[in-house]
């Protein structure tokens, strides 16, 4: 279980990247996907840093 929690931040960053890909291939341009993806990427990076300090 610790191994999964250790990489939880990376999974959140990947979700943000997928949202950016969806935004790129979508016909309509809305800022909602951009906002959601930047929040996911930033929170994923911060979660990865914090969780690795707590678990190690």
pLDDT in tens, 17-40: 999 999 999 888 789 999 999 999
39/2 Cα distance (integer angstroms): 24
**Model's pTM, two decimal places?**
0.85
What average pLDDT does the segment 13-18 reach?
96
For residue 15, pLDDT over 90 is answered with yes
Tokens standing for 54? 């707590």
pLDDT of residue 29: 79
What torsion, rounded to 10 degrees, do the Cα atoms 36, 39, 42, 48 define?
A: -90
Whole-number average pLDDT of the chain:
90
- Residue 44 near residue 15, CB atoms below 8 Å: yes
For the chain, the distance separating the N- and C-terminal CA atoms, rounded to the nearest angstrom, is: 14
For residue 14, pLDDT over 90 is answered with yes
């Amino acid at each position: 279980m610790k191994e999964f929690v250790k990489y939880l931040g990376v999974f959140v960053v990947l979700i943000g990247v997928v949202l950016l890909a969806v935004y790129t291939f979508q016909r309509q341009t809305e800022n909602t996907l951009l906002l959601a993806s930047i929040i996911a990427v930033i929170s994923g990076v911060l979660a990865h840093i914090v969780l690795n300090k707590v678990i190690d």
